[in-house]
Structure 1
């Protein structure tokens, strides 16, 4: 009986992890770590690292699960997403709803353990990350709104360390916003006809494939220019620039392999390469900061 119970718990945990695509935490976490290190002038305290990480995971899990709830009708109708947990009823709407509430509660509690500014801003963050789920119903700017929401990770990480506003985290947040929006546009090219037929807004469905991809390239170009700006404002060194060079090569590769009809290539372009990009930037930024400072 005990073994069966443990197996059930592990199975349910795996299902929720798949529901919220937990592995995609690698998109925001590296930039949050960079922000914390820059804010602290080194490694922040274990207290800040622990509660900052818990807050990030709680907010992200809650927002992703809510997004799956809000989009379950569209996911069921789209052949590309019909395999997801809610359309297949592998998870129920009530238990996913409870999962959302629990994770948002964890986020608020973790924010309260950091400092007053994080605590005060936590309800605002919840409104922002939750409202994203409806952006695609109203505007093709939904990609940028998604990026804006995820940009709260490095900005919030800075607040967690300092408890105050500054210029640098908002530049880093803008980097994340443009990066996320750019590859979300790439991801959205797979659903142009579906979005048009179901009244959903996206850059690919509104502007067409060619123009949307040009916009994606422009966002990634500005992202890289802002990272170069941070090289000067943060007084970084050649190792940081090496990381940016590798990241730029990976971004060019990403744009070079886009084939909306090829699911595997689109996963590589939209997800896998970007997970590598964030880790490359993190690795070389930390290497530069701790070896050359």
Structure 2
């Protein structure tokens, strides 16, 4: 599809981010329509890009090749059941960015036999630095996969998984991952202040160090363990800090945390499915 029409159901922060990324990459804003019941959300969206806006979901998807579902999980069922008749008329590609709702539920609410791509983006997508995993059901064509990939790459990287269940592991690593790094930043800033730095200096040093380390890891052709070794001189200051982390079981703590996150994601998905 060289110039697909894209409809967004929901015009909140994530939808605005994706739309902003698409337009920044040269996508025609006139081919995008967003629907939302809140005029303020639509007004804020038009500050991002001059897209078409409406409060009527049926109108939004009437000519859409792609429909991006960007509503809260708890309202997804009534929204889709109300849209099913329109969706069944021309069966557009459905892209869901809602957490915890399986593609089978989305398909059922939309009347069945729909091409669906389920995504797990993360909040850095709001600044075009996101990491998104995608899963396609059996109705999605190769062309539609390429289109979904293009849309999500507007806000960062996009990676495909073969099994929908893998999205629970994705939730544990990248979906919830920003919070882990924020916690580390929070702890480093606090420790810096306890060592005598001002709050502003501790914050700026911590954030820039986090950014620099990530950029080095992305740009490097070696693994992160080797990067760590290169800045950890034997018997030096960094080695002393690393020894404390290792002695306190940092790796095991991270493993337990990510397993707990994965398990909770699976549990919430079952609850969502039972409510459907």
Greater share of helix: 1
Task: Answer yes or no: same fold by TM over 0.5.
Answer: no
Greater share of strand: 2
TM-score normalised by the chain length of structure 2: 0.24
- Mark the structure with the bigger radius of gyration: 2
Q: For CA contacts below 8 A with separation 6 or more, give which structure has more relative contact order.
A: 1
TM-score normalised by the chain length of structure 1: 0.23
